Amino acid sequence: MAPCQEDILLEKIQINSIQEIKKDNMTASVMEAFQNTSDSRTQTQILSIIVNNHTKTELQTLIPRLTINKIDSARKHALVSGPDTVLNQPKIYRMKLSKPKVGHFVEFILNPIYSNIVGFGETILKLSSKEKIKVPKVIRNVINARLIETYLSYCKDSGFDTFSRASLYRILNFCHASKQKSLQGLDNITALGMGAVDTLLKLLTKLETFGVSYPESKKLTNILHMVNIFMKFEYKTHLHKLDGCEDHCTVFALSDPVDAKFAAACEHSHESSCQKCSLVESCVPQIRIKLNDISTNIPDQIVEELTYELDNSEMNLVDWKKHILTTIPQDQARTNVLKNLHVDQGLVILDWAMKFLPYQFRETQSDFFAVFLKSDNAACYHCTNPLAFIHQNNGQFPIKVAEYNFSEAQSGKDLCDSKTGSCRMHIYKYANEGHDVLNSRSMKLALDSYGGVKGTQACIVSVNAEDEPKTKIRMPGISTYNNFNFENDGIIARKAYKVGEGHVIKTSTQCSETISVERVYKLEVLDPFSQDQPISGKLHKFADSRIEDTHDQQPCLEENQPIAENSMNISTCSTSSAYFCCPDFSCDKVFATSNNLDRHLLIGNHNYRKNTISSMDTAVQIYSSSCIDLQKYHENVIQEASHEVEISVNLNAKSRKGRGLKSKRANVRFSDKVKTYLQEICASCEKTGSRPDFIALSEELRKATDENGHKLFTIQEWLNPPQIKGYIANIISKSKSSLAVKKPRAELQEVNVDDDENSQKLLLC
């Protein structure tokens, strides 16, 4: 075809496999950057910029020694993460902190002595991968330094090898909890009292804008701060049954001035007075006087609102004082029972604790002939049915019930909370080892694992709700009775512990066939108590004689001994940071071991004393030359306050008698207008998913107006935050019960590996 031109023709007609590749500035820069780095991940990220612009052959031509695997990795990176997307190298952690030691520390810090889990709210914990974990809201009662010192002492006492201080601090920082600034959810009565002081401080600020002078406002503010500190820390140390002050004598304050059955006569006179106690009752009347003086310069609507806040604050302050006054004698019931307990007697503390919903808890009661009961003020306990059942069938019980004492509302349950907290941590430890705790049987297996929880046993019983007795027995005024003694001829009820002879409830009025033993005692034991585990160990004697290394080594405060002003416990919290202080701020006992602290909390033998020579007082005495003017100023404030207002101070003894007893309050029905208003707000919150603010709603009810500027609700229709909270909770409860639908369970299905890869390819395409 082409003589003597074969080479030229072949060059023209053959396909040139190596075409010239056009390189622009960006491609040249990418090639240079790729060749200048030696990190494989960085090369993949750089190559992903141009990997889709050329074929594999072209890329291998441009970049020598480029492999097909590297090109595929760059294309996958460009498809999944995007071209030139920088991905950080995954961190590989070495497990330096062993999981059992971490669990041991977490179990210690979640002890109810140091932490409280409230029934509302949640805390969000963040992992290093930005993952969020929601846990119930935890309130820590002590600072981190004190908690770590106590834990290290506990580990040294038990011979447990733990982490360093720095590691423990890091764990606490990551497992953060709220500090105890408020008692809302833990002790609502105290929280409302502290909130009343805050409300009065804000009210004084408003009065200052309306004409009250700054010196008068400043003086009232100082009085409120004194009242707040006194009620938090000092008032509990003043209470005693033999005190000569009416505000301090518990027998006089808890005696009913109307019914002699619930009153006791004091053998001593009440001639002394306490200026700080008088300030609690006189601070609100002083503010009311200032409000009345300037009421002509304030609009009537604002005066009405301020008066309402004053009345509510005064009521909450009085309730706070009654709460403290009632708590001390009711806790004394447990101490006296344990002090006089015989070999054939026992004490049972009951608590309505729904820590795990499907769990039925019972304690063993073998080898006892008499038992003393103490429980909280839950409605399931403080009602007619259990008391009538105990009294009617007490003779048939193998264990006779001698007393039934109720603790003050929202107090006296620290032992039950401590036990349930230990059980909960034991279950979590069992679950962390790969076990599932889904029902009552698996829960009992968890509680019995590794020898069980010390001092705790569990069994599973089945209760038929259809056999619940329906009785019509009534005890008028049962909500005011807190102490019950079961005698042969009836029940002796008292309003306060050992105050008065009590009211006798006859046997004939408390009998019913529906609460007989045969009809009530129908418990089917599904899994009985496990066998007791032998306790073994060694006893250690501590050389430091300043600290109590045995229970009740230091003489406690007896009932028949007055409080000495110069008496002071040598073992204070400042003795050594490695010792265990009582979590009660007013108790000055310190213990060398954690077990002794638990035993002290079990008995409740707190040592309330007026520490007139504390370390802070010593510092004040040293610094007194510079602070004498400030001290005189505070004394003048107290004296002026006590002389200006004589409303509460000059009351006679008859009207002040029985101030610590519960006052009767009439039930108030909400108007239809208020109900409709709250229902609309509740429906709006349900749609938006927001939680209603009960304090803001209480203020909104007082300030809501119509189109003409007139208020929608009268003062009789105004509600405080607890009332609004209870009504909205009732609405939500009814709506949930009416719309309760069984949700379908999500089931996990096995997926073949090939199918999973095919689905992944489809997603990538």
386-407 residue pLDDT tens:
777 777 777 777 778 888 888 7
Provide the pLDDT for residue 554: 37
- On the 0-12 / 13-18 / 19+ scale of CB atoms within 10 A, 504 is middle
> In the numeric block, which tokens belong to residue 461?
């019983």
> Greater confidence, 373 or 248?
248
Residue 362 pLDDT class (50, 70, 90 cuts): very low
The mean pLDDT value for 624-641 works out to 52
**Two tokens, residue 607:** 């040592």
672 belongs to a structural domain: yes
Is the distance from CB of 231 to CB of 320 less than 8 angstroms?
yes
Strand (E) positions, 54-177? 115-126, 132-140
Task: Tell me: do 280 and 376 sit in the same domain.
Answer: no
Q: What is the mean pLDDT of the chain?
A: 72
pLDDT beyond 70 at 96: no
Of 269-273, 402-406, 443-447, 569-573, minimum mean pLDDT range: 569-573
243 and 120 inside one domain: no
Above 60 in pLDDT, residue 667?
Answer: yes
Is the same domain home to 36 and 118?
no
Q: Which residues contact 222 (CB under 8 A, 6 or more apart)?
A: 634, 637
Domain encompassing residue 309 = 206-327+627-656
Q: Which of 65-69, 97-101, 243-247, 633-637 has the highest mean pLDDT?
A: 65-69
Answer yes or no: is pLDDT of 474 > 50: yes
pLDDT confidence of residue 367? 40
In a domain, 615, yes or no: no
- The closest of 280, 316, 292, 313 to 203, measured between CA atoms, is 313
DSSP letter string, 628-674 = HHHHHHHHHHHHHHHHH--TTTT--HHHHTTTTSPPP----PPPHHH
Q: In this model, does residue 87 exceed pLDDT 80? A: no
Higher pLDDT, 154 or 654: 154
pLDDT at 419: 67
Considering the domain architecture, whether residues 423 and 490 belong to the same structural domain is answered as: yes
Exposed e or buried b per residue across 104-142, where buried means at least 16 C-beta atoms within 10 angstroms of its C-beta: bbebbbbbbbbbbbeeeeebeeeeeeeeeeeeeebbbbb
Residue 178 identity (one-letter amino acid)? S
278 and 155 part of one domain = no
pLDDT of residue 422: 65
Distances (CA, A) of 193 to 175, 188, 462, 540, 676: 31, 8, 42, 45, 30
Q: For residue 57, is it within any domain?
A: yes
Confidence of residue 620 (pLDDT cuts 50, 70, 90): low
The domain boundary residue, chosen from 527, 562, 577: 527
DSSP output for 438-460: -SHHHHHHHHHGGG-STT----E
How many helices (H) and strands (E) the chain has is answered by 26, 13
Judgement on whether residues 231 and 290 belong to the same structural domain of the protein = yes
In this predicted structure, the answer to whether residue 350 has a pLDDT above a threshold of 50 is: yes
Position 414 scores a pLDDT of: 56
Neighbours of 208 (CB within 10 A): 17
What type of residue sits at position 393? N
| Whether residue 353 is found in the same domain as residue 501 | yes
Query: What value does the mean pLDDT take over residues 71-99?
Result: 75
Mind giving me the DSSP string for 717-757? G---HHHHHHHHHHHHHHHHHHT--PPPPP------HHHHH
Return the closest-CA partner of residue 324 out of 254, 425, 400.
254
Determine how many CB atoms are found less than 10 A away from the CB of residue 750. 4
Q: What pLDDT does residue 185 have? A: 47
Q: How far apart are CA 684 and CA 691, in angstroms?
A: 10
Per the model's pLDDT, the better-predicted residue between 642 and 556 turns out to be 642
Residue 194 counted as domain residue: no
**32 and 111 together in one domain:** no
Could you give the C-alpha distances from 19 to 9, 61, 130, in angstroms and in order?
19, 10, 50
Task: Give SS3 for 524.
Answer: strand
Taking the C-alpha atoms of residue 310 and residue 305, their distance in angstroms, rounded to an integer, is 9
Confidence of residue 361 (pLDDT cuts 50, 70, 90): very low
Whether 549 is covered by a domain: the verdict is: no
Q: Are residues 640 and 675 in the same domain?
A: no
Q: Is the pLDDT of residue 673 over 70?
A: yes
pLDDT category at 363 given cuts 50, 70, 90 is very low
- Asked whether residue 567 is domain-assigned, the answer is no
Do 394 and 446 share a domain, yes or no? yes
Question: CB 601: neighbour CB atoms within 10 A?
Answer: 19
What average pLDDT does the segment 669-687 reach? 83
Residue found by looking up tokens 């909130």 in the block? 195
- pLDDT score recorded for residue 432: 67
Exposed e or buried b per residue across 261-278, where buried means at least 16 C-beta atoms within 10 angstroms of its C-beta:
ebbbeeeeebeeebebbb
Query: What's the whole-number mean pLDDT along residues 186-214?
Result: 85
Residue reference for tokens 């406690």: 556
Q: Which of 527, 558, 583 is the last residue of a domain?
A: 527
Question: Which of 166, 280, 265 lies closest to 232 in space, CA to CA?
Answer: 280
Instruction: State residue 557's pLDDT score.
Output: 33
Residue 19: which pLDDT band, with cuts at 50, 70 and 90?
low
Instruction: Tell me which H or E stretch contains 264.
Output: none
If one counts the domains in the chain, the total is 5
Decide the pairing of beta strands 370-375 and 460-462.
unpaired
Q: Are residues 346 and 408 in the same domain?
A: yes
Q: For residue range 700-753, what is the model confidence (pLDDT) as tens digits?
A: 888 888 877 788 888 888 888 888 888 888 887 777 666 554 444 444 454 454
**Token digits for 114?**
């140091």
Please report how many Cα atoms fall inside a 13 Å half-sphere around the Cα of residue 471, on the Cβ side: 23
pLDDT band at 570 (very low <50, low <70, confident <90, very high): very low
Measured CA to CA in angstroms, residue 30 lies from 23, 62, 298 at distances of 11, 11, 78
Mapping DSSP onto H, E and C, the string for 126-146 reads ECCCCCEEEEEEEEECCCHHH
For strands 460-462 and 524-527, give the pairing.
antiparallel
Q: Is residue 346 one of the residues assigned to a domain? A: yes
CA distance 706 to 695: 21
> CB under 8 Å to 697, separation ≥6 — which residues?
678, 681, 721, 724
- Looking at 80, 113, 148, the residue that finishes a domain is 80
Reported as a pLDDT band with limits 50, 70 and 90, residue 267 is confident
438 or 304, higher pLDDT:
304
Is residue 645 very low, low, confident or very high in pLDDT (cuts 50, 70, 90)? very low
In a domain, 478, yes or no: yes
The proportion of the chain whose per-residue pLDDT surpasses 70, expressed as a percent, equals 64
Residues 218 and 168 grouped into a single domain:
no
Does the pLDDT of residue 472 top 80, yes or no? no
What confidence category does residue 688 fall into, taking pLDDT thresholds of 50, 70 and 90?
confident
- Between CA 589 and CA 608 the distance in angstroms is 9
Residue 40 pLDDT level (bands cut at 50, 70, 90): confident
- In three-state secondary structure terms, 485 is strand
Which residues, listed in sequence order, are joined to residue 705 by a DSSP beta bridge? 711
Task: Give me the helices (H) in 398-498, please.
Answer: 414-431, 440-448
